[in-house]
Chains A and B, each alone.
Chain A
């Protein structure tokens, strides 16, 4: 029962966080010098056009009235209208959010799939050749500027070898002759569900390089963190007991030890996941990936506050959600942890 109380409390807290973030961002956007009415009109607004736009956008009303109208719209799922494109932001989010989530998820999966086994084996075989090379790999993955790596990989795999595409989510030919039906916005899922095999293969091939570049940092983190926690855990008494009892090494490493070693790693990976949602801008620009990073950066440079606010709120929701998930996961994995 107390777990449901815990859940209820966490959700209430989340709602409060969202409310505070919305108030702060809203008032910042109104205080920072900008001219949304002029932006709305276009690059060469005249005074008459601006005056008309002010009324249309409700900017002549007092600040608290504007805020209440904004929150009312928000509760109905209306994130407002972009000052630059004059289009409902929700439509943009429906495209950019899944695109980014798909990319970041693939990157994270890659990071875990490569990073965890390497980290475990590194920790188990300390100071071996494997250990040294994976540590080197981890440092390289974290230090190499993602921009540089992306351009280099592009040049190599597209320019020289011609085996991977230059960018985008799908080829032009797919957009023309096997267009992807937009159901969830995750191309890999949508194409599978509609049986669109050419598009599925194409989407997979297109996501490889950007996901790899995006996941590089997380891979490095994962290797290092898993390795260091593994080393600690492997010194524990119960591991020696298990060895004495004759358990196979693989079971000892990947079931008994990993379960305890993984928690800090997962926490860090979860944080880097949320960071990458908007931090993927460099990868998105180089691979022409229509993601949230590019979208919000454009909005920041163009001072498009409705978009900035909407993306801030979305990222806050994701952050809170992922945090909650991580806490639940931790409680599940570690019986010593009590949810309070």
Chain B
């Protein structure tokens, strides 16, 4: 073929290729200057870069959706800085459980079916509109209408009434702790009605927000980086040393995150290789913060399929797990002893609750009583692929159960097939379903209802537990959670003790949070109610 012919044909193919790709992109690429404060690339910013205080958070994974009505994942790290809730949940050890956010005070009626919130005055959203009761009603309505993410936490709400500009009343169809629900890090964000009316979810995800929080989303480079900048009119005001900009970098490889924090390219991160934390903490320029989280690891036991349908056998295998060994030797500070289904730092749990300990003799005794003196049966345990901690739990347990003559098969599966298997016929499902749980809003009900309340169709109660007494106690406790928290706590603990007595699940451990930050950052304290969220407004350098 001659050169000219080749060029002709190549040219045609190229043009066709361009035409096809032009068809595939009907809308012109949206200009990045849709943010609240557009910065033309050629002009210098109003503050000289040297004067600006920038913080970098090296994130572990990409976050799916930063629409505040939908976000129910790691996106809360971003939304918690751009949006605010009516109420905030305080870290354990604080004097009060809750503190005012966009609401300055709140009260409920006697039976907890009507909640009135008195709102903070003088708060502006990033688009300049005022925050008022209309915005509260609008935000909750929008979240409920979209019916995604954590919107179900508002199920008890029948109507949000605008009493006056700064008073909003929640009318419920049944009693529920609205103060706790409004403090959730998912689905309780307040948004500007004008802003969300004018734009859709796609616009928000391109790198914008409709919030009132201390930082505004300036830009988002998909898969890479999200930049937030200070909201100058934030109602809390600004002081010397606080950050002007916050950058969220997606860095999936732990060794890279570690190099970033060591070099000072990142200011905060987490989930590094566990064996490195000691060396990191020893460094002057880096500090490791360890504290209990509201997350735990639980093994749900199949109540329908023998032999685990027998409480004696369930108790026996509960005595066969090496809790201390795991916490002390294997997890290296990343776990603590669990006391039942609710993490011990959360309200509604208690360190007085009994917990099984590692006692093979007791296990043998119980097996004997149940009619399996030498074990002689198989159990299937499933857990999440790629989770090394869960795999280790399986290995440790298998070694111990083997001493009792029980053969434990530890199978790693992706979430979908694992869930599918458990939701199918209980007689064909796994015996032990291992998973983490953490609260959608901070209440023991989140743990107890989801995993242990009797269900017609199995959903997350993947041990198929059906105990009327436990259900009654937890339901009653939930109703009282708002109006009589002390009584609610008593009832929750009663339900939890019952679950422990019946060995309805194996409570492996409570997870510890380990965050790493540069030592020159002041004011950092982890709040387990908002997993891995760093409230940059509280920090300074």
Contact = CB atoms under 8 A, between A and B. Distances in A.
Interface string B197-221: 0000110011000000000000101
Nearest to B219: A179
A130 interface: no
B21 to A, nearest CB: 9
Interface centre among B1, B259, B416 (most CB of A within 10 A): B1
Given A52-B147, A168-B224, A44 B414 contact: no
A209 B64 CA distance: 28
Contacts of B93: none
Contacts of B16: 11
A175 interface: yes
Given A96-B223, A286-B256, A321-B13, A183 B29 contact: yes
B41 A181 contact: yes
B459 interface: yes
Contact of B39 (A84, A92, A179, A295): A179
A79 B27 CA distance: 13
Contacts of B62: 298
A337 B1 CA distance: 8
A167 B1 contact: no
A294 interface: yes
Contacts of A264: none
A295 B225 contact: no
Nearest to B218: A176
A167 B256 CA distance: 8
A325 B32 contact: no
A33 B416 CA distance: 8
Given A96-B222, A182-B32, A168 B249 contact: yes
A158 B417 CA distance: 41
Given A76-B26, A288-B253, A328-B13, A301 B414 contact: yes
Interface string B451-486: 000000101100000000000000000000000000
A224 to B, nearest CB: 28
A326 B201 CA distance: 43
A303 to B, nearest CB: 5
A94 B206 CA distance: 12
A40 B253 CA distance: 27
Contact of B9 (A3, A52, A195, A287): A3
Nearest to B262: A159
Contacts of B10: 325, 328
A173 B49 contact: yes
Contacts of A52: 147
Nearest to A331: B1
B250 interface: yes
B505 interface: no
A323 B420 CA distance: 41
A175 B151 contact: no
Interface string A296-340: 001001010000000000000100010011001101100101010
Interface string B27-51: 0010010000001011011000100
A179 B32 contact: yes
Contacts of A154: 256, 259
Given A33-B420, A181-B32, A332-B3, A166 B260 contact: yes
A12 to B, nearest CB: 12
Interface centre among A49, A85, A92 (most CB of B within 10 A): A85
A95 interface: yes
Interface of A: 3-4, 7, 11, 33-35, 40-44, 46-49, 52-53, 75-77, 79, 84-88, 90-92, 94-96, 99, 151, 154-155, 158-159, 166-169, 172-173, 175-183, 194-196, 285-288, 290-291, 294-295, 298, 301, 303, 317, 321, 324-325, 328-329, 331-332, 335, 337, 339
28 contacts: A7-B13, A33-B420, A35-B419, A42-B148, A44-B72, A44-B450, A49-B152, A52-B147, A77-B26, A86-B64, A86-B65, A86-B70, A86-B201, A154-B256, A166-B263, A172-B249, A175-B227, A176-B49, A176-B247, A182-B32, A288-B252, A291-B223, A301-B414, A303-B414, A328-B9, A329-B6, A332-B3, A339-B1
